[in-house]
Every structure is written in structure tokens, then in C-alpha cells.
Structure 1
Amino acid sequence: MFCTRQQQAAVSPEEDDRPPTRRSSLVALLASALGSRSGTGLPEGCAIRALNERAITITQLRKLFALASHRCAEEGWVAADPGASVRWTRKLTPATLTHADVLQHLVAPSTEQRRCSFVELLAIAPQPAQWYAIHWCGQTLEATIACLSQHARDHALGEDTRYWMSTYALCAHADVEPSTRELLANAMPAVMAKAAGALAVLDMRGEALTRASVGWEIALSATAPGGSTRLFEAYCASDERSDESGGLMALGMTDGLAAVDAGRIADKMARERDYPSAHLQRALAFDLRFATGSSSEEHAELLALVGDGAQAERLNATVGARMALLRLPHLLAECRPGGKPGKTRVTTSSGTPSAAVSETPVARSALRRSLGLKATDSALTTLPTTPVARVDRFAPEGGARTRRGSTEEMLATSLRTLGASSLERVRILCDPSLFHHAQFAHVEMLLPPCLASIIASHLPIDMALQLAQLLLAGDESALREVHLTHCRLHNTQVAAMAASLPGNTRLHALCLAGNRIGDEGVSALARALSDDAQRCALRELDLAANVFREEALIALADALRLPCCPLQVLCVSTTAAGTSRDGLAELWDALGGNDQLLSLDLTGWKLGDVGARRAAHMLTQNRTLRVLRLAKHGISHTGSRELATALSSNRTLRELDLAENPLADRGSLFLAAVLGRNESALQRLVLRACQLSDVGARSMADALEHNMSLALLDLSRNACTSAGADALLRAARFNNVLTELNVLDNEHVSTSMLRSVQTPADGALAVGGGRESGGVMKGIFESVGARLKRG
């Protein structure tokens, strides 16, 4: 964690013992690479009081590395740590420069005059942290940059992404920053609370996970305020260099899907497959008492802060659980019973292969080559590791060994460690192609006592059933949010879960999308929501893509009529519904008098113009609903006219989704007329794939010239030409409210027209975007100069 005053005082050799080096002035030290803004040769910098606003960008780190590489050769720098892998008596090279070396030879001298952090020397304004980078001072700066760059690429971020790193955010001078105890107890948790995620930057062998500060920060990522929403990810750099750039290559494990995965879990699994298992082994073996500290003072402060007994054990378990969750889908894939030959590699407890089997063909990374692995070897099992001292900490009574060696043993230990941790959020995304028939009856699933949020997708059925049982604790559980999607849950399990809802005052969100829930299961949930004697606290219910029919929606409608029903968000979208006979009159009648529901998603129910007419009548009565999604309903211009009329009298609806309805140009004219007269309060209108031509596009363009409420308009996947798109873009230039206009995937829109679009002076509009395809087309729009950003 700290590569500051403790590191400098504890590990730096005395000046008299070192070979002499040439010291240049500060002006010569910094001006060459970091640049000057004041004309003096020194960066002007600024004063940043808030610690969380002292993050550093990848670009700034690259400049720092370039400067340090040049100076270390010119001045003959030696290693700052006598115990480092490079002996201090040897001169440093760019490839061996660690954070501790940079701190001693560059950061501390350059900040001595101003007594500030290094970021304050570089920045011209506060740089709030986007990610918190957990790193060890003994790691090389080049490897750290490789990890951060790969992390940014995987998430479609730029080189200006801001990572908070203690080495450069804290002042290296002891009389400036708060005391070590104050930093540990208050300042560091406050910084972590402001970051969207924590990124563990590790070395290949996982040596960083033997450091007390690294383990403490990993545990802090789960226990600091906001732990139920904060992401945690881990990246490491290999010794292999890219043939294109010449830089080190890196691999990472992400918390959920990254942008590079394009929404495919299988791509995520393939991307993470070669990540070394040594990290998990070391994390499961972590013990703060025996971990190495940057200094004796820091280690003592950490031990005093954490305490002994149960609290220390929870911290140790949290470190293991953090890494175990990232690796859990891969462990399940390796251990699944009944797997096809060649999919599982079994090893002995020492980590040596017990059988050589072939693997599923996937793209082999350069990391595999750097480890000297053959095509038939798995990096998960052949990587040499230090024996794990605490891996059997939660072993079954009697010390019975598991049946399939270390991989299954590690799976069992990971799950038990998870149950003993302090995690507030658990996310497990498994490859949907692996567990159609696999049974994991021998695996015991445990959950942390303080767990507030669980997100699981495509779990093996046995584990899903265990989770469903664990959710029956009712108000005794701390769970506030549960997502069990595509886990093959049936009516029986859902009915049992529904029985635990009355009286549960904690659970606010329940998502069971993509399961096998029928009318019986949905009706059980509706009865739980209708229980006036023991009211539940459920605010969000997602039952998308299940197998229930209209009878189930009628049961939910009966619940929505009652004042005791707390639902605010309801998603019952489907992909297999038949054409409705009466437009689901019961549901619309119930919503007419409901004053709780804020969002309703009925995508795919094919209610037609009859349903649109009933929905329109509901909108004239309802004064609460904010979001209404009626995509794929078969609504024509007749239904569009009814909805447009209702919007002119409804001032509460903010989002209307009519995607993939055959509105055609005639239907868009009714909506455009209401928007142009500012009779609607709509802020988001989705008309994706609604068969609009240039006529409909021009009508919307005319509306945009006068509308004062619409912030998003999605007209993607229609039949507009360059003329229609040009009219929309030109109208949007003069609209001060619109922030996103999606005209992607209109077959006849030419890029030559897009090149002619001039960026508005205020830069307030994003052309493209949208949840479906904006990310894919972003680069194209930027390349032709038609991605216009405002604000």
C-alpha cells in the first residue's frame, strides 16, 4: 500500500554505502519528459486537498516511466530495496525499475521543495479517482503500466482513465500527510468509497499477495462504504512482449463482463483462462499476522487496527474470497462431473499434473508462451507455486481428502472461504454451455453473513437450488438484492422463495429472469405481494423470459390493485407470448389506480392496437408511472395515435419504448406532433426498427426544432437515407436539451454525409450511442467526425 515515508525509511540503504550517483537539478530532472507550463522548466502543478482527487492517468505514468528510464541510466540509479530481486549494488534498468525506486530517486526529490504529492506536481486541476489501484512497491513500473493499459482497453476506456495509487497520491514527506493510523483507519477507506472499483495489480507469481498492505487493501475493497456496488478486478503482466508495441502483455479477471467481451460470457471465460492459479492459492493462504509489511511500523498499525480473533479471520477470508469469486466459474468448469474428456485437468495436491489431456481449442495468449507451456498444458495447473499453508483451513472434519485432487479441493476451500468472508456483494457468471447436465451435489454453497447483493447467472442446478434455499431465511438475512438468472429454477423453488417474502423487510430487488417459472410460480409471488398482514419490502421484480402465460399477469394485476403491494419496478417481458385477445385489460385497469409502480416492461406480449388503446387510457389516469416499454407488440399507426393522444395529457411518463413495432411513417407523425407542441414530458423515446423512412425522420426533425424535454431519441435500424439523417442531425444542433441521437444501422445512411456534419460549438450532442449498438459503432463515428459530444 504505502510506498512513501515508511518504505523510504525502512528499505533505503545509507548514502555512504551506495555507489555515488550524479544528481541533476529539479529543472533538468522534470522538464524533459513532464513538460513545463510556467516557463521555469518545472511543471506548474496545483494544490489538491482531497486525497481521492489525486489519481494519476496512464498517460502521466507513461511520461513518468520515460523520464525515470532516461534518468536511471544517466545517473546510475541503484535499487532502493536491498532485499529486492535486483541487488542494490547493481544499476537499475528500465525493466527493473520498481515503484520504490521511482519514489526514492525521482518522486521524493522532485516534491521536496513543495512538500506535496507527485500528482499535485503533474496535475493542473483535481483528478478524481475512477479506479483504486492496489499495488506493491516491489512491482516494476513497466508491468503496472501494462496492467492498467490492458484494463483500460478491456473496458473501452482511454489513456486518460484515472487510477488512484498511493505511491503518487500520498506525499513522501513525513511531516505533511496524516499519521499512518489516520490513513489506515479513515483516509484510505474514504478514498476507496469514492472509487467505482478496485483493481489489484499483481505480479505473475502472486508475491504481492504475501504483503500485508496488499491483503488489507483487498479486504478494504469489500468493507469500505459502498462495498455492495464496488467492482473488484485483478490483472497481472507477463514477461512476454507484444510484437506490435514492444510493451509487456497483461491478463486480467474482471468482475462481470467487460466491454471487450461484447456481452458473451464464453468470451470472458476464454479471455481469463490463462490467468495464473498461483494468485488464488496465495490469496487463500493469506494471513495478516505472517504477511510481510513495507515497514514494521505499518505492519504493527495494521495488526492493531484489525485486531485478533474473529475479525482477523474475516479479513483473511475476505482476501481469499475476493480472488476466489473471480476464479470460481473456471473452477466449476474444471471440476464439473460428467464433463467431456479433455475439458478437465486433474492435478495432485502439490500442483503437478496427474494426467495430460487435450484442451478445448481457444486462442492461446502470449502469456502461455512466456510460461513455457505446451499446447496440451493448462496454465491453471502447471504453474509452479509456493505450497499453500492455510488451504485446508476450512477442510471437512477428519481431514478427508477430496476425490479429484487440488482443483476440486480449491473449489471447496473457495466456497467455504466465501462463507466466512465479509463480502457484501457476490457475482458469479458461468458459461451457459457447460452445465446443462452437470450435477454438483457434493459442493457446499455458503454465503457471507453480511451479504447484501448476489448476482448469479447460468449456475449449475445444484448450486442454484442451494442458493434458493439460503434465500429462505427471510428477515434474518441481510440480502437486499438477488439476481438468479438462467439457473433453471422451477415453480417449486420459486413458490418456496415467495413464501419467505411476507414479513421480509430487507429484500428490495428480486430478478429471476430466464428461468423456467410458470403460472404457479408467478401466482405465488403475486400472493406474497398481496399479503396485507405481513407486508414485504420488495420494490423490484424481474421475471423476464420465463414460461408463464397471461393468467400469471392477471394474478400480478390483482396484486397491483391493492395498496399493500410495494412494487415500483416490474419486468415481465417475454419472447414466446401469443397474440393477446383483449389487450390484457385487467392489468391496465389495475395500473389506472396504482400509485406505486414507476416502471413497467411488457416487451414481447403482442398486445397489438387493442393493448395500446388500453395502455393509452391507463396513461390518462395514472400519475405515477415513469417508464413504459411496449416493444414488439405489433402496434401500428392506430395504436400510435392513441398513445400520442394520451401523452398530451400525461405529464409524468418520462420514457416510452415502442421498438420493433410497425408504426411506419404515419405512426411517427402522431408522436412527432405531440413532441413538437411540447405537450409531452417525455425525455426518452425509442423508435428502433419501426419501419420509418425519411418522411418519419423529417417529422421527428421538425419536432426537435421546438421540443424542450426530449433528451434521447433512438431511430436506429430503420429505413432512413442520408437525407433523413441529415435533417435529424441539423435539427439536433439547435436543440439545447437533446443529449443522444441514435441513427445507427440505417441501411442507406452514407458515411460521406456523416463526414460533412460539423461539430457544434458547445459539443453537447452524442450521435450514435444507445444500449444496443453505440459501443460497436463508436470508433466509426469518431473516425468520420460525426460523433458529436456535448457536456
Structure 2
Amino acid sequence: MATGDKRKDCLERIPEEWRAITVRQLQGVRKDIIRRCPAHIAMEGLSQSRFHNRARVSQEATGAIGAFVPASDSTEKEVHVKVEKGVFQEGHSVHISGKDCGVVTSIKWCSDNWNSVRDWQTPLTPEDVTLYDFNYYRLSPSTVPTGILTVGLTASECSSGDVCLQEDTRAKGRISSVADEEVRILVDRGQFEVSYPITIAGKVVGSADALLWNDEVRHCSYVELLTKKPQKPKYFVSHWWGEGVLDFVACLEQHATIHSLGLDAPYWVCAYANDQHELGSALGTDPKASSFFRALMGEECRGVLLILNRPRPGNIPAGVPFTRIWCVFEQFVALTSEYSPKLSLDICSWDGKAAQLLVQGLTDAESKEENFLPGKGYGRKQSREEHFPLVILKQGLHAELQKAEASVPADRNRILSLISKQESTEGEPPREHPEYDRVNCALRGLFAIAAWPCAVKAGQVNSLGLAETLKADISLKRLEMAFTNLKGMDDATAMLLGKALPPTLEELVLGFVNTGLGNEGAKNLALALSSCSNLRKVKLDFQNTALGDAGIVQLCKCLGSLPALRDLRLGLSETLLADEGITAIAEMLKSSAAFRQLVKHEKGSTTTSTSFQDWEISANRRLEFDFGKTLFRDNGMALLSDALESLSPLLALNVNVYETELGDSGLHRMAKALQSQQQLQYLNLVMANTRVSDEGIKQLMTAVSSWLTSLETFMLNLRGCTNILGPGIASYADALRSLRSLRSMKLNLRNCSQLQMLAFMNRVLVTDWNPLTVYIWNQPYLRFAGQKYDETLSDRSEFVHLVNNSIIKHMDGFQEKNEDCLALKKLF
């Protein structure tokens, strides 16, 4: 197949919304820029020596790096260099191949450089190349690989090989062929357009009346040059063409890394997805019919990645996408649940050294860490986001979409008319509108949330007006913030945070792990919570703070007054929690209208309903309490259990009492309370390093097997419980027989040094021992080696490496070593 045929084959059309570009393909763009763009300079004042081609050239004072280029047209006083990084400056010494060659006295730019399209004079380094530059030098020319076919030029004045220019567009090319009135031009730079004159050797040969396209002369998008297969976007990228392409690629690499997407993750980027030679079809007259909107609504699109540029030379401010109408449209769609209830909005920027990323909530990896160890996931998120440029965050706090501009004024009118819900998108949009305010407040609120940890660290929460900005976002339904290890999050700052809570919130997740918050801060926060009557989910983590009973009592009063609350999670480990605080928690649960048992009236009498069908099943009520390393004792568990018996059915219960004085008495009371929660599907009990013994575990397992037949997930942590010797674990194994709905289970017995027997029934699969992870299987057959495994492989005994019972039964001492298992008939 000829080369031309291959090019033609690459031009098969792909739907615009499926023309995403992968990170790996963008890395190819970066390589292309680095290879073609390096600034070619000539430096004088350096000592002359023989250097090989591409010898390393460096200037320590400026950090500039380049490669030596032997130039045939250079004078003896000049040393030619292709700049790869930084900017060489006069007055500083230069090393070539490690040898000091003296001080540069003058620098001049050579003629083969890429120059900025902003002024057509400033030479570009790879770091300077914007998408405007790349489009002119590479993207537009490469997407007409067989050239363009013009009609209207004076064919007699044109010859194959002639260089032709179009001054108005700065397009440049070479004539490929002339046939009748048609002239084919191979494009080297930019885009030729109709109606503008074209010159050859300074002589005007006419202007193109039309550009013709056929099977041999076609145009395409950049993505269609790279692949013939549709690439459905995982994320939509909203950005400004004026940011550095290398910065842009680094941002996508960071985003893909943080989200564990891999280099083949596809991102929809307008410059590479849209055919730059027929933008009219991609944009259209209705923004909701544009390729932008169709890509955003793609079934596999998870969210929008907004890339904000850093300040650049030439008075280019940070955050230009806030002033571009198509970027505003993309942000509007991401923030409007009517169009995109599933889309997230991530924000990324290059700070000059690395790509900094803000993510709504936690990433999948951070969520796993948070579930494994509360506070760790949020701590990692905070460490990752704390270096995001504050200058860009400030820009987001003052976004005004109605002031955005467009290259095509009609686009601005249509988009603002759509946002303001006008009947027609063709008329003049209103200057002000409530929908503008809604989107502005939502976007500013997003940046206020992102800025809080940075502002707390810098002591600028008040001066930035974060509380007022966040409070104004009345469309906010879910707020998730963490201040792990920030001692600046004290009582005064917590009061500002309380003032910032919008009354429309339905979910609130706040983490104060290892901060300076105390009772006064909790009280102020509690007062603010009482005004958020729509709250359905509240998760507050006060681990390792100075919070005591006084703050907890006030907090419980307000939490108990929330009528819509269905999911409550309180992290109080390593706080000053004592009996008064535990009593307040129990009383809150008993008095809460959201959690107490529903009562139905029949024939004038009031009775408590005991049928699960009578309950609001869809409520998904959940409770989680972390009392680890506090003064929580058996009486505290008794109070909590009393409260549980008065509650309507829960879907999930999580109680963490690690390293407390809990004993069998408290565990027995909890076991009794489980009878009232027969619809539990998730149960997690963490009792590591407590005083519970076999007797308490047996009572608990009896209750679980008798009442919790709907349980799907059962997690039990007994790490370090040295009073558990064996019978308790045997009861655990027995209980598993009755849990027919069980899908996942974990048992942690690490550091139970006195454990003498572990007797599981023959219906489980162990995949991890530390902590022990066990899966139910209908008809498994477990087999164990007869002797301890020898990692050095020095012991060749068949009883070490084989788990076949027909062989192991012949091992000396088999009967004695397996007496317990044989007696229980559970293993062999």
C-alpha cells in the first residue's frame, strides 16, 4: 500500500464526541514539540573548541540546558545551540561537555525558530509553545495531509514546488500540482482561507474562491490522524488554548496518575477532537447540539477536568478559562444537575514545578485508605492539594461567567441565553440573571472549599471571605472537607466554618483529626448544624482533639433535632470523651425523630411496629461510632445498647472501641440489643486490645446467628485480645453456618498470642491472614499442610509441601496434632 493510501486510510471519520485523545498520545505531542521547536540561538564570547554534535551545553546561573549544533553558516565567533530548557542569558559562563568555555557576550536568534503567534517575533522554547502556536505550526497543517485544492488562482502563474504565502492568515505552503483551474497546495504553516490573496515570490496570483475536497484531498481532526478507532472520553477537559502545551500534558498525566487511569485513559480535548477545518459543524447554533455538549453527556464520561493556566509573560493573568465563554459553558454543565448529575469537576494547574490537582472528595485510592484507617485518606488528600497555587484559587473566588468573552460574539449570546433559560438562544441575553448568580456561586463555592485548608495554614480564612463565599452557594447539597494535622483549625476558625454552612446541605463530612479544635469550636459548629434541617448524612471526625463532654453534649442536642438525618458517623477516638458525653449520645439517639422507632396508629391505639415492611426501607439508616482510646467502658456500651433497642431498623452499624476497658458485660448487653436490629446488612465491631474473652464472644455470636440472618458483611476485629483462647472463635465458626446472606467477612486475630485453637467450618476460603480475610463458599474442601512451611526449602518433607489428606494422615503424630479438628469434624 502506498504512503498516500495509508494517509487516506487514517481519515476514516469518527463521531466527534468519541474523538478523545489518550495521555500516551499527548505524550507524543510533547515529544513532537520538543523535537521540532527548540530555540536555535547563536552565542558569542565563548572559546572555540571541537565539540561533537548534540554535546551538552549548560549555564549554571540560569539553569538553561541545550545541545551544541555545528552550523555551516556560523562565524568563528559563534557557538550554535538548540535550547532544550530555560533561557540562556548574556553575562554568565557556559559549559560545553563539562568544559568552561567562558562568558556569553551576546546572543542572537536564528531564522529557523518557531515564533509566538502573538507577535510573530518572539522565539519559542518548548515550554513557551501554546496550543495557538501548535495549531499554527503542526496541528492545522498535519490535518490536511494531502494538501488543499483551491479554485480561483491564476494557474498559469503557479508551478509545482513554488512557495506560496497568504499574508492575512500567515499561512504558508508549497504548490504540489496544477490542473486546469485547480491548484493543490501542501500546507506547511497555518490554514489557507478563501477570499484572501495568495502570493508567490511576492506576486499575487489571486485568492481562492473555494476549497475543494474529495477522496484524495480531505481534512480531519488530529485524533483521526492517530487512530481509526473511537475513543470514548473518561473525562472532558475544559481549558484555554493559551496555556503551555507541555504544562497541559503534565496536568493530564498527573490527573490520570491520581485517579489510577493509566496512560491509555482517553480525554476529550476540543483542539484535537474537532476538525479545525470545519468548526461550524462541531459548534453549530445550539450549544446543546455541539460536539462539546455531546462529549460531556457521553455515557462513559466521569467528569470535567478544568485546567487553569498560571500567569505568563506578556501580562497574561492566571485563570483565563473563567473569562472564556466555552469554558464557562463546560463549567455550567458540570455544575448543573439537570444536565450532568454524575459529573465531577476536578481542577488542575501547573505551578512552575509540578502539576497540582484538586479533586472533589477523595480518589478511589484515598477512599480505601480512609476506610482502612480513618484520617489517613483525608490526610493524603490534604498533603496532595496543599501546594495548589493560591493566586489561582483567588481567581476562582471571584468568577463572573456573564463577563466571559468569545472569539465569535454569537457563541457568547447563545451560551448565556441557554444558561439564563431564554426561549430563544439567538437574541441578546440579559446582562444579569438569577441563573448567572447560581452558577457563579456554585463555582466560587467549589474554590472556597478547595481554598479552606490552604487558607487555614496561611491564616487567611477571614481575609479571603471564604465563609461568605461558601454560604452563598445555596445549590450545594454535599460538603466534604478535612483539616488533618492543621493546628490552625482551632475554635475560632471552626466558628467561621460553622457560619459558612449553606442551609441547603443534605450531606456533611468534616474531618478535624489532630487539629486545635476544642469544646467551644464544637459548640459553634453545633449551632450552625441546627439550621441545616435538610441534612440526611453527617460524618464528623474529631480524633485526637481536645473535644470533651461539654462540646459533645451540645453537639448531640443539635444532631438530635435534625429531622431528616439517616446516616450518622461520629469519630471521637483519642478525645476527652467520658460518661457524660456517652450518655448524651445515647439520649440523642433515643430522642431523635430520625432514628427512633416508627409508631403506627390502629383503631385509636398506639403500638410499636415490629415488621420491617412497616419501616421506611429506603432510608438506609446507618450509625457509626468510634470511641477508641477513650474512657468508654461496659456502662457506656450498656447505654448505647439501650439506645439501639429504641431505634427503627438500621441498615449498617459500626462500633469501634479499640483500646478501651470494654469487657464481657458490655459485650453481652450489645448482643442482647442486636435482637432489635434484625435487618442489619452491615456489622463492623472493632474491639482490639480490650478485655473481652471467650464468654463475651460466644454471647455475641449466639445473637448474630439467631437474629442477624440478613447480614451481608460481618467484620470483627479482636486484635490483641489475649483473653480469647479458642471457644469464642469456635462459636464464630458455628455462627457462620446460619448467615446465608453473607457475602464478605473479615476476622482480625493478630497478636492473640494465647489463641490455642482456630476451628472454622469447612465452608470458608481464607485469602489473607493479617488481618484474616474469609470468604463463604457453598461446597469447598479445605486442606492444610501437616507441618510448618519451610521458607528456605531445606526441609523436603512431603508433609510440608503437600496438602493431600490421603498422604498427610500417614505423618507421625497426625492423630494427636489434629485432635481438636477431628473431634469437631470441621476440617479433616
TM-score (normalizing by structure 1) = 0.62
The aligned counterpart of 2:239 is 135
- Within 5 Å, give how 1:616-631 maps onto structure 2: 616-621=701-706, 622-631=708-717
Verify: 1:160 aligned to 2:264, yes or no.
yes
C-alpha separation between the residues in 2 aligned to 1:183 and 1:553? 60
C-alpha separation between the residues in 1 aligned to 2:588 and 2:304? 37
Which residue, 61, 70, 76 being the options, matches 2:26? Answer: 61
Which residue, 468, 480, 500 being the options, matches 2:561? Answer: 500
Verify: 1:440 aligned to 2:545, yes or no.
no
8 Å contact 1:637–1:663 — kept in the other structure? no
C-alpha separation between the residues in 2 aligned to 1:213 and 1:274? 28
SS of aligned partner of 2:770: coil
- How big is each residue's C-alpha offset from its partner over 1:660-689, in whole Å with a ceiling of 9 and x where there is no partner? 34578987863263327xxxxxxx876425
The aligned counterpart of 1:86 is 118
The aligned counterpart of 1:429 is 482
Which residue, 540, 547, 554 being the options, matches 2:622? Answer: 540
Q: Which has the higher strand share?
A: 2
Structure 2 residue identity aligned to 1:414: L
The aligned counterpart of 1:191 is 297
- How big is each residue's C-alpha offset from its partner over 1:192-230, in whole Å with a ceiling of 9 and x where there is no partner? 885444332222122423333334434543334698876
Structure 2 residue identity aligned to 1:138: G
Structure 1 unmatched runs, 5+: 1-25, 29-38, 241-248, 336-406, 677-683, 691-696, 710-717, 733-791
Structure 2 residue identity aligned to 1:423: L
Structure 1 residue identity aligned to 2:554: Q
Which residue, 414, 417, 421 being the options, matches 2:466? Answer: 414
C-alpha separation between the residues in 2 aligned to 1:610 and 1:545? 22
Distance 1:612 1:85, change over 3 A: farther
Q: Say which is worse superposed, 95-104 or 143-152, in terms of deviation.
A: 95-104
Distance 1:670 1:554, change over 3 A: same
C-alpha separation between the residues in 1 aligned to 2:446 and 2:522? 20
SS of aligned partner of 2:412: helix
8 Å contact 2:491–2:522 — kept in the other structure? no
Verify: 1:521 aligned to 2:487, yes or no.
no
Which residue, 438, 452, 455 being the options, matches 2:509? Answer: 455
8 Å contact 1:155–1:260 — kept in the other structure? no
- How big is each residue's C-alpha offset from its partner over 1:111-158, in whole Å with a ceiling of 9 and x where there is no partner? 677776544553465444333332112222111012222334455553
Deviation at 1:417, TM superposition (A): 1.4
SS of aligned partner of 2:243: coil
C-alpha separation between the residues in 2 aligned to 1:97 and 1:140? 6
Deviation at 1:645, TM superposition (A): 2.0
- How big is each residue's C-alpha offset from its partner over 1:460-481, in whole Å with a ceiling of 9 and x where there is no partner? 456654443333246x42x333
Q: Say which is worse superposed, 252-261 or 309-318, in terms of deviation.
A: 252-261
Distance 1:612 1:468, change over 3 A: same
Which residue, 726, 730, 745 being the options, matches 1:637? Answer: 726
8 Å contact 2:11–2:220 — kept in the other structure? no
C-alpha separation between the residues in 2 aligned to 1:581 and 1:287? 62
CA RMSD of aligned residues (A): 4.6
Distance 1:566 1:98, change over 3 A: farther
Verify: 1:40 aligned to 2:123, yes or no.
no
8 Å contact 2:131–2:242 — kept in the other structure? yes
Structure 2 unmatched runs, 5+: 40-110, 145-216, 312-317, 370-375, 421-431, 601-614, 783-787, 804-828
8 Å contact 1:184–1:302 — kept in the other structure? no
8 Å contact 1:583–1:608 — kept in the other structure? no
- How big is each residue's C-alpha offset from its partner over 1:551-580, in whole Å with a ceiling of 9 and x where there is no partner? 444444445446x61421111112232241
8 Å contact 1:636–1:661 — kept in the other structure? no
Distance 1:253 1:498, change over 3 A: closer
The aligned counterpart of 1:688 is 770
Verify: 1:595 aligned to 2:560, yes or no.
no
The aligned counterpart of 1:775 is none
C-alpha separation between the residues in 2 aligned to 1:229 and 1:722? 53
Distance 1:77 1:465, change over 3 A: farther
The aligned counterpart of 2:660 is 577
Verify: 1:98 aligned to 2:130, yes or no.
yes
Verify: 1:234 aligned to 2:347, yes or no.
yes
Deviation at 1:642, TM superposition (A): 1.6
Deviation at 1:523, TM superposition (A): 0.6
The aligned counterpart of 1:277 is 390
Structure 2 residue identity aligned to 1:62: Q
8 Å contact 1:198–1:230 — kept in the other structure? yes
- How big is each residue's C-alpha offset from its partner over 1:576-611, in whole Å with a ceiling of 9 and x where there is no partner? 322412462333234346332111111026433223
C-alpha separation between the residues in 1 aligned to 2:338 and 2:223? 25
C-alpha separation between the residues in 1 aligned to 2:571 and 2:489? 17
8 Å contact 1:46–1:125 — kept in the other structure? no
Larger Rg computed on CA atoms:
2
Give the percent of matched residue pairs that are identical in Structure 1 and Structure 2. Answer: 23
8 Å contact 2:442–2:476 — kept in the other structure? yes
Distance 1:671 1:149, change over 3 A: same
- Within 5 Å, give how 1:19-34 maps onto structure 2: none
SS of aligned partner of 1:484: strand
8 Å contact 2:16–2:291 — kept in the other structure? no
C-alpha separation between the residues in 2 aligned to 1:187 and 1:118? 19
Verify: 1:565 aligned to 2:648, yes or no.
yes
Structure 2 residue identity aligned to 1:539: R
Verify: 1:323 aligned to 2:447, yes or no.
yes
C-alpha separation between the residues in 1 aligned to 2:289 and 2:113? 30
Q: How many residues align?
A: 579
- How big is each residue's C-alpha offset from its partner over 1:237-294, in whole Å with a ceiling of 9 and x where there is no partner? 2445xxxxxxxx3333444566699837666555544433221222222212222324
C-alpha separation between the residues in 2 aligned to 1:602 and 1:212? 53
Deviation at 1:429, TM superposition (A): 1.5
8 Å contact 1:519–1:549 — kept in the other structure? no
C-alpha separation between the residues in 1 aligned to 2:343 and 2:507? 11
C-alpha separation between the residues in 2 aligned to 1:169 and 1:87? 27
C-alpha separation between the residues in 1 aligned to 2:307 and 2:356? 10
- Within 5 Å, give how 1:357-436 maps onto structure 2: 407-411=460-464, 413-421=465-473, 422-435=475-488
Distance 1:555 1:132, change over 3 A: farther
8 Å contact 2:522–2:552 — kept in the other structure? no
Verify: 1:511 aligned to 2:569, yes or no.
yes
Which residue, 517, 523, 530 being the options, matches 1:472? Answer: 530
Structure 1 residue identity aligned to 2:237: A
Q: Which has the higher helix share?
A: 1
Verify: 1:657 aligned to 2:689, yes or no.
no
Deviation at 1:496, TM superposition (A): 1.4
C-alpha separation between the residues in 1 aligned to 2:16 and 2:697? 53
C-alpha separation between the residues in 2 aligned to 1:268 and 1:595? 37
- How big is each residue's C-alpha offset from its partner over 1:1-45, in whole Å with a ceiling of 9 and x where there is no partner? xxxxxxxxxxxxxxxxxxxxxxxxx968xxxxxxxxxx8257758
8 Å contact 1:152–1:159 — kept in the other structure? yes
8 Å contact 1:229–1:425 — kept in the other structure? no
Distance 1:293 1:76, change over 3 A: farther
C-alpha separation between the residues in 1 aligned to 2:435 and 2:740? 53
The aligned counterpart of 2:538 is 482
Structure 1 residue identity aligned to 2:728: G
C-alpha separation between the residues in 2 aligned to 1:481 and 1:271? 26
